[in-house]
Amino acid sequence: MALVQVTACGSTGPNTPESSTLYIGHRVGGGRVTGASLEEVSVSTRMYADLELFEPVALEGGGYARDADEISPAIIQSALSSDETVVRVDSFRGSYAKIEGMRPGTAEVSFVTNRGHRTFEVHVAEPAQVELRHYVWDLIGDEADVAFSQNGIARFEMVRRDMAHRILGGYGAALPLHVDPPRAARLSIRDGDVEHVNIHLEQETETVTLRPLGGSPVTFPIIAPSDDDVWGVSAVNPEGGEMDLGPLTIDRPTLVTVWSRTASGTRLLGLMGRATLVSASPEVCEAESDEDVHGDGVFRVRGIADGECLLEVQAGVATLNVSVPVGVGAAAGDTDAVEAVEVAQDDTQDDTQDETRENSGSVTDS
């Protein structure tokens, strides 16, 4: 099936002023807006694309907000395609519209909203190449030693491109991705998610190979979970890579990874749903899963008041409690202020030694 890309045009509609600030994009899990741009937006679909029209909120110091609670939706009053043999408007409600790519080509879709009129050019194309990316590669490098955790679920970003190398995406049709051995893994996507694919490792095998359409195959070894695996917590460095979890700033979310490594240092993928991270001090901080957006083992932690943020991580049979300062007295980068305050193991494992690492807080799953 064909995919869709949307770019902004400058034409205006009748009886309504043109809005030069209307953006178009799509949402992924957790309410974050992605693909949002005025001039060119990739709106993914292999058959359908769910679009949202909105005006972004300007941030102090420049730029625009992208979180769902920091945008101003534009209520769609009408939507019309210039060529329904190329792209068809299936439906619209509120600030959302659903379009269907019919055949390769270009058409314009005009929207009239309560915030003005805007026309977007829609390119419909067949996918020619698919790229797979796991967030761990951005944190520890493409050449890092990684493996799939047996019976785990790994979440990959999936980027589709046409022959002109435009980014496309979509849902509603077969995924352009194959697995070898064929029954080693099952593929799934969340309803409407145009950016990710979940890999469910369901068969015992030594390796699994992912073969994306027109892209390079990627082979991973499969490793069974072990009592010797080391679990830990790190923060995602906005400038790239991982760092020890440092003090939190009020109302500024921090991405946190719960990770697992084998005793030999191999980083394990496929932790989706196997680890949880919750706030044990909800009056000071809050935590929520970010796996739908960034991938398996990723959480968002946000300070909401001065004090000590107590985070409880359940990973395998291990429980790791981490204390992180929040507020004015918590200087960013002061990782010495972060303390792993308690490591509790399963009652059946009392005779084992706990291995902890200061600041990031790591524990051997024993």
Domain hosting 149: range is 132-159+171-223
Least confident of 134-138, 144-148, 351-355: 351-355
Q: Do both 85 and 145 map to the same domain?
A: no
Residue 166 lies in a domain: no
Q: Do both 241 and 355 map to the same domain?
A: yes
Q: What per-residue confidence (pLDDT) applies to 286? A: 95
Q: How many Cβ atoms from other residues are within 10 Å of residue 252's Cβ?
A: 9
Q: Do both 85 and 136 map to the same domain?
A: no
Is residue 194 within 8 Å of 169, Cβ to Cβ?
Answer: yes
Per-residue pLDDT reduced to its tens digit, 202-221: 877 899 999 999 988 989 99
Q: Do both 113 and 82 map to the same domain?
A: yes
Q: Do both 289 and 316 map to the same domain?
A: yes
**How far is 297 from 308, CA to CA, in rounded Å?**
23
* CB contact set of 301 (below 8 Å; sequence gap of 6+): 248, 253, 254, 256, 277, 279, 285, 286, 287, 309, 311, 324
Q: What per-residue confidence (pLDDT) applies to 221? A: 92
Is residue 320 within 8 Å of 349, Cβ to Cβ?
Answer: no
Q: How many domains does the chain have?
A: 3
pTM of the model: 0.70
**How far is 226 from 303, CA to CA, in rounded Å?**
34
Is residue 195 within 8 Å of 293, Cβ to Cβ?
Answer: no
Is residue 43 within 8 Å of 4, Cβ to Cβ?
Answer: yes
For the domain that residue 212 is a member of, what is the CATH number? 2.60.40
Q: Do both 264 and 355 map to the same domain?
A: yes
- Secondary structure (3-state) at 30: helix
Residue 148 lies in a domain: yes
Q: Do both 260 and 307 map to the same domain?
A: yes
